[in-house]
Amino acid sequence: NKLQLVQSQLPQVVQNNGITVSKSSTGFLMVIGFVSSDGKMNSTDLADYVDSTINDTLKRVEGVGSTQLFGSGYAMRIWLDPDKLAQYSLMPSDVATAVEAQNTQVSAGQLGGLPARKGQQLNATVTAKSRLQTAEQFRNIILKSNTDGSLVRLNDVAKVEIGAESYTTQA
């Protein structure tokens, strides 16, 4: 089939995570809204809950072709400081390579995405699930070993925190 003809041309991470083929429709049969009646969960909390707890179950219901989640779950957010990268002779690609190498599977989100810090110039998309779970674990990723034996860690060149995977959709 056509998918098998192009599969070898796809990035390795896509091949490893698998490919789903389905016919799609632009119309909605049903929309379900979730709210926090006590106000303890914000839109990111709700989206993450629905994505991690409910969405897969809905997809397995007989007759359901697909689901679409409006909103954004959690992701590790990494805001690179261009001046600090230059100070350590590092590029954004060096950071992405180190994160991927020390995390095996890379967390979903973006390097330098919205909401950006003042002066933010760098932006790179990172996808898939993560084996590292906390901001502290990500901050300690080693980017470089200096000749004097000291280490440059992600925390030395970036702000790292857990936030929304995307800030472009609010539901």
104: left (phi over 0), alpha (psi -120 to 50) or beta: left
Query: What pLDDT was estimated at residue 112?
Result: 63
Between 134 and 92, name the one with better pLDDT: 92
- pLDDT score of 91 more than 80: yes
> For residues 65 and 23, what is the distance between their CA atoms, to the nearest angstrom?
8
Query: What pLDDT was estimated at residue 169?
Result: 61
Q: If you average pLDDT over every residue of the chain, what do you get?
A: 81
Query: What pLDDT was estimated at residue 106?
Result: 44
Question: How far is Cα of residue 147 from the mean position of the Cα atoms in its chain?
Answer: 33
> Which residue ranges form the domains of the chain, and what is each CATH number?
2-59 (no CATH), 74-164 (3.30.2090.10)
Beta bridge partners of 93: none
> 41-69 pLDDT, tens per residue?
888 888 888 888 888 888 888 878 788 88
Between 54 and 18, name the one with better pLDDT: 54
> For residues 28 and 34, what is the distance between their CA atoms, to the nearest angstrom?
17
Provide CB contacts within 8 A for 34, sequence distance 6+: 46, 49, 50
Confidence of residue 25 (pLDDT cuts 50, 70, 90): low
Question: Cα torsion at 78, 81, 136, 141 (round to 10°)?
Answer: 90
Q: Are strands 158-164 and 74-80 parallel, antiparallel or unpaired?
A: antiparallel
Provide CB contacts within 8 A for 102, sequence distance 6+: 132, 141, 142
Model confidence, pTM: 0.52
